[in-house]
């Protein structure tokens, strides 16, 4: 009897959002080094066990929050993971400080969680979700669906 092929609902939800269901080898979703560049305010960097390196800005991560509420919100607004919200046109432009977490901590051995300064912290960023959302040119070229908004 094999349990291979059985997937959890939350994982399916994430896979559907990134339109990517190709299974990744374990070494591709196992971080070797995880750096949260909190003091620099830069973002998250991961060196994967397969030798690949990924980096995400905090702004991207906040707009790619994988919690049910944020996924639902993005679906409604037709935004991809990491794509910033559109500002309502009738409002005067207001300065919104870039998203930054007050802290970050591991969730088990499979994910990382951020305590965003805006009070949101329900998103659990699994290593697999992050690897599938890698922003490097190599990965965004291979899968333009997960590419962030152009800078």
The one segment of 1-9, 29-37, 56-64, 69-77 that binds Zn ion by CB under 5 A: 69-77
If the CB atoms of residues 65 and 81 are measured against Zn ion, the closer one turns out to be 65
Count of residues engaged in binding Zn ion, rule: CB under 5 A: 7
Restricting to residues 96-125, name those near Zn ion by CB under 5 A.
Answer: 123
Nearer to Zn ion, 5 or 122 (CB): 122
Out of 70, 81, 99, 130, the residue judged to bind Zn ion by CB under 5 A: 70
What is the smallest separation between the CB atom of 3 and Zn ion, expressed in angstroms? Answer: 29
Closest contact distance (angstroms) between CB of 136 and Zn ion is 3
**How many residues belong to the chain?**
151
CB of 70 to Zn ion, least distance (A): 3
State how far the alpha carbon of 37 is from the alpha carbons of 34, 65, 81, 118, 137, in Å: 10, 18, 21, 18, 21
H or E stretch at 112: strand 111-116
Q: What is the CB neighbour count within 10 angstroms for residue 137?
A: 9
Residue 108 and residue 58: Cα distance in Å, rounded?
Answer: 21
């Amino acid at each position: 009897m094999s349990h291979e092929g059985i997937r959890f609902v939350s994982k399916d939800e994430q896979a559907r959002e990134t339109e990517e269901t190709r299974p990744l080898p374990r070494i591709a979703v196992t971080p070797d080094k995880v750096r949260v560049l909190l003091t620099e305010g830069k973002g998250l960097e991961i060196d994967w066990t397969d030798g690949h390196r990924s980096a995400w800005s905090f702004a991207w991560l906040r707009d790619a929050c994988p919690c049910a509420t944020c996924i639902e919100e993005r679906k409604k607004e037709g935004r991809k993971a990491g794509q910033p919200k559109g500002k309502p046109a009738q409002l005067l432009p207001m300065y919104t400080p870039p998203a930054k977490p007050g802290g970050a901590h591991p969730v088990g051995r499979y994910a990382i969680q951020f305590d965003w300064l805006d009070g949101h912290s329900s998103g659990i960023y699994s290593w697999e979700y992050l690897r599938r959302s890698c922003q490097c040119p190599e990965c965004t070229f291979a899968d333009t669906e997960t590419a962030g908004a152009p800078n």
